[in-house]
Amino acid sequence: MSEYQQKLESKLWAIADELRGNMDANEFKNYMLGFIFYKYLSEKIELYLDKELEHDGVTFEEAFKNPELKGVVEEEAKDNLGYFLEPKCLFRNLVNGAKHGFFILDNLGKALNNIGESAYGQKSEDDFVNLFEDVDLQSSKLGKSVEQKNKIISKILLHLSEIDFKLEDTESDILGDAYEYLISQFASSAGKKAGEFYTPQQVSKILAKIVTLKKSRLKNVYDPTCGSGSLLLRVSKEALVGDFYGQELNQSTYNLARMNMILHDVKFDDFDIQQGNSLEDPRHIDMKFEAIVANPPFSAKWSADSRFLDDKRFSAYGKLAPKSKADFAFLQHMIYHLDENGTMAIVLPHGVLFRGAAEGVIRKYLVEDKNYLDAIIGLPANVFYGTSIPTVILVFKKCREDGADILFIDASKYFEKVKNQNRLRDEDVTRIMDTYVGREQIDKFSYKASLDEIRENDYNLNIPRYVDTFEEEEPVDLDEVVKELETIEKEIKIIDQEIEKYCDELGIKAPIMR
């Protein structure tokens, strides 16, 4: 990481920490991330239009005052960037007002609304409309009076104005990485709510490396519970991705995912993030994907309605995941969307490896009938925000050879402790990936199980059944223990005698020591 990157991240978090006041991290993140995004969109449009207008010898601001050019620059921005902001609504112009102590809330509200409204009727409509609906400028948490609200918002914008996002540097993604850093910081401060929107970076890295293995480019990637979109974007660090697809239930997190995509310079026509429940109301039902990654909510409830027995995602199994645990429902949903040449990696709680009833039937079908399960990777406990339970990564492929083994990896003991969280180190990620790629069998770490072995275990996939991590205790030398006890006994007698002597000198009765 560059020195500038580190300074930028520290500065952004310092602003957030100083200004959040009475809000918890999960609430304040909407303002902080929203205003960073607004600054980005402002600088992006001005940079783009100034460059496009160079041959006309005018700036964006000058062209907008020209009746002949005004409509042209607006259409140019909408067609290529997906949105439009008129000059008076640009971040730098609002900051100028804040510097002079002006009231800026009304103009700021207009600016944020105009970004979404400018996309109505455009191809980018789904990606920009209502993006800023969680930035509530009237919230009482910003202050009791409008003056107090204006003061705190002005302060945030003034702090942000001091930071150079270096958008001219097209080779690096400094702002995108800083945004990811902020999201992770908010996640670590948000407790249980964090699980809704963020997968720890090291876990994301493993998932991304697995689904891109031996591929330099992917046609598409999909995440049915995409949160802030960080996991999807992580895949693009490992391979060139054509199109990103995702669905997110939580409205605020859905807005964050769209912002995150745009801020990482993913063009509006190269991603399709939808809002809604991917199990009950799937938005990409007719699509297949080359790579699928997910960290679904662990053991979430779902309807398990009998109509799903006729749904093409679930009908072949003959059983539905139980109402109280949707883990296998997410898994079945993803398997359905996986292309024949694709790979999927999903994080789930350990229970999916051994729970019986309907889940046992589904597990057997995937292992025995379809031969889709490729690997099981056990992760340490307390790696995820909001839950301390140990988890596993399940890897599935539709193009496995008949009779291929299933690789079990027990990485549960390999991590570092950071504050109250466990964290995978780079060497832990490398150890997991090297073992997965080489399909190595390593004592007390990994094991290749045949289908016959799994059949003998009645399709119970609990990792300790396959990877023996038992450590023998050192033998106890009883003769040595007896000698030590005898020595201690002698020392106690000497001490007792000394205490008795001192008590005699003091003329008091010695206490009974034993």
Domain CATH for 95? 1.20.1260.30
What is residue 506's predicted lDDT score, i.e. its pLDDT? 75
Which pLDDT band, with edges at 50, 70 and 90, does 91 fall under? very high
The reply to whether 253 and 274 lie within a common domain is: yes
The reply to whether 158 and 239 lie within a common domain is: no
The reply to whether 18 and 151 lie within a common domain is: yes
Q: Residue 244 in 3-state DSSP?
A: strand
Q: Are 288 and 339 in contact (CB under 8 A)?
A: yes
Which pLDDT band, with edges at 50, 70 and 90, does 485 fall under? confident
Q: Is the pLDDT at 432 greater than 80, yes or no?
A: yes
The reply to whether 411 and 291 lie within a common domain is: yes
In whole angstroms, give the CA distance from residue 93 to residue 89.
7
What is residue 110's predicted lDDT score, i.e. its pLDDT? 95
What is residue 189's predicted lDDT score, i.e. its pLDDT? 72
The reply to whether 507 and 443 lie within a common domain is: no
Least confident of 160-164, 195-199, 237-241, 257-261: 195-199
Q: Is the pLDDT at 90 greater than 90, yes or no?
A: yes
Q: Is the pLDDT at 419 greater than 70, yes or no?
A: yes
Amino acid of residue 419: K
Q: Is the pLDDT at 188 greater than 80, yes or no?
A: no
pTM of the model: 0.88
Asked which of 161, 188, 215 is the last residue of a domain, the reply is 188
Structural domain contains residue 447: yes
Q: Give tens-digit pLDDT for 27-76.
A: 788 899 999 999 999 999 999 999 999 998 999 999 999 999 999 999 99
- Give the closest residue to 260 by CA, choosing from 157, 183, 162, 190: 183
The reply to whether 120 and 224 lie within a common domain is: no
Structural domain contains residue 470: no
Asked which of 137, 157, 188 is the last residue of a domain, the reply is 188
Asked which of 125, 158, 188 is the last residue of a domain, the reply is 188
Domain CATH for 439? 3.40.50.150
Structural domain of 16 = 3-188
Number of structural domains in the chain: 3
The reply to whether 180 and 279 lie within a common domain is: no
The reply to whether 160 and 220 lie within a common domain is: no
The reply to whether 246 and 276 lie within a common domain is: yes
Structure tokens at 466: 């396959």
Q: Give tens-digit pLDDT for 288-344.
A: 999 999 999 999 999 999 999 999 999 999 999 999 999 999 999 999 999 999 999
**Quick one: residue 509, left, alpha or beta (phi over 0 = left, psi -120 to 50 = alpha)?**
beta
Structural domain contains residue 83: yes
- Give the closest residue to 104 by CA, choosing from 118, 88, 117, 115: 88
The reply to whether 31 and 139 lie within a common domain is: yes
The reply to whether 428 and 378 lie within a common domain is: yes
Residue 394: how many CA atoms within 13 Å on its side-chain side?
26
Which pLDDT band, with edges at 50, 70 and 90, does 473 fall under? low
Structure tokens at 119: 């996309």
Q: Is the pLDDT at 190 greater than 90, yes or no?
A: no
The reply to whether 408 and 506 lie within a common domain is: no
Structural domain contains residue 296: yes
What is residue 386's predicted lDDT score, i.e. its pLDDT? 74
Structural domain contains residue 471: no
In whole angstroms, give the CA distance from residue 20 to residue 166.
26
